[in-house]
Chain A
Amino acid sequence: MRLLFGSFFTFMLAAAIGLGATWLTLTRGVAFGSLRIGAWTAWPKSGSMDIDPYAHATVARTGELPIGNGDGVAFYARTDDNGENFDGRCTFTVSGMTPPARYWTLTLYDLEGRLVANAIDRHGFTSDELVRATDGSFTIAVAPRARPGNWLPTGGIDRFVLVWRLYDTPIGVATRTIKAGPMPAIARKGCS
């Protein structure tokens, strides 16, 4: 009787631990071999046959197609440089210089990877569209209300993700340090 009860308890606990750990890792997007530069994180291996099992399972669950290594690399940011979560009711600035790449795009998504509705139908910038200062630097205002210059609307949603995609770039699997690719800084400028 005790054995029966014990094994029943063990199996239930094992199922809870196992499935719980799987759910946690897949919804949080755990993956190995990440490349962190400031608030930005990329998983260059996810665009190759060397994709790790966690990243592979996450991709299968969400239904996205990772960017291939011969194409480019995608950096994701969910927080500003101080680690504070993005909030669509606040204003953030993305500024500085960009790593070397033939083209890049910056896109704002909700947490599910969908574009966010807004009045001017802008969902991001490409390297050609951006208004830059004379020294090549730039500032993008990510804000709920219209801003002069480069304005990326948040649509006032709760949380969002910024994705910086570099196309035809030397940044990739072999990149280890921040020196190879300076990424733009993200700062919080107050909330409405």
Chain B
Amino acid sequence: MTRTLLWILGAILLGGIVHLATVLVMPRAATQDAYSRLVPLTPVNAMVPLAAPIAEKSIMPFMDPAFAAAVCRYDLASGSIKLNAPVSQAYTSVTFYTRDSVAYYAINDRAAGRRAIELDLMTPEQHAEVPEEEDVTAADRLIIESPTKTGLIVLRALAPEPGLMAMARGALAGAQCRIQPVQ
């Protein structure tokens, strides 16, 4: 009796370890995460518009249908990224995601405080190599560090009413995501 109880206790402990391990491994092992879904639809290091969600069909679950969206699937292996996004009349935001869907940085048009959102995205190593004077003289140059080499930049523009969707899409069409080769 005691022996059976011990076996069961062992199984519960071991089950707990299996549970924690699978939860921690899931973000790396997932084959249907946002990045994987976007690989066949988007080129690397270019901003492309995303198809708006329609009934029973959307690229990712829980997309907000009131927004026009564009995505830049980046790879920082060959240099840093320069992002330039004009803001729309209503509301525009940029969110940066790691390869495994963690939103590590987000900024909206008001926080960016200008007609366009301009950002440099680089790895911590690339940031360390930026000459110091350049960092100081270009005080208005916002530099974001990406925790992973690859990831997603998602640009969203709100259409406050359906008639303004064309305006929101137009604003995103002017956005650029370009690789700056290492000198």
Contact = CB atoms under 8 A, between A and B. Distances in A.
Interface of A: 6-7, 9-11, 13-19, 21-22, 25-26, 46-49, 51, 53-54, 56-57, 59-72, 74, 102-103, 105, 107, 109, 112-118, 121, 123-124, 126-129, 155, 163, 165, 167-168
B26 interface: yes
Interface in B14-59: 14-19, 21-24, 26-27, 29-30, 32-34, 36-37, 53-58
A117 B17 CA distance: 43
Given A9-B7, A53-B24, A71-B106, A126 B19 contact: no
Contacts of A21: 15-16, 19
Interface string B72-106: 00000000000000000011010111001111111
B54 A63 contact: no
A70 B65 contact: no
Which of A59, A105, A121, A168 has the most CB atoms of chain B within a 10 A radius of its CB? A59
B106 A70 contact: yes
A128 B161 contact: yes
B56 A115 contact: yes
B66 interface: yes
B152 interface: yes
Contact of B60 (A17, A26, A64): A64
Contacts of A167: 91, 93, 108, 158
B115 interface: no
12 contacts: A14-B15, A17-B19, A46-B103, A59-B33, A62-B32, A63-B32, A63-B60, A68-B95, A70-B108, A103-B91, A116-B55, A163-B64
B32 to A, nearest CB: 5
Interface majority SS (helix, strand, loop, mixed), chain A: mixed
Contact of B97 (A14, A18, A65, A155): A65
Nearest to B22: A22
B70 to A, nearest CB: 13
B154 A105 contact: no
A67 B103 contact: yes
B156 interface: yes
B142 interface: no
Given A115-B65, A165-B64, A71 B22 contact: no
Contacts of A56: 26-27, 100-102
Given A71-B93, A117-B56, A127 B160 contact: yes
Task: Please name the 4 residue pairs, one residue from A and one from B, whose CB atoms are nearest each other, closest first.
Answer: A18-B18, A68-B106, A113-B61, A17-B15
Which of A11, A22, A48, A165 has the most CB atoms of chain B within a 10 A radius of its CB? A22
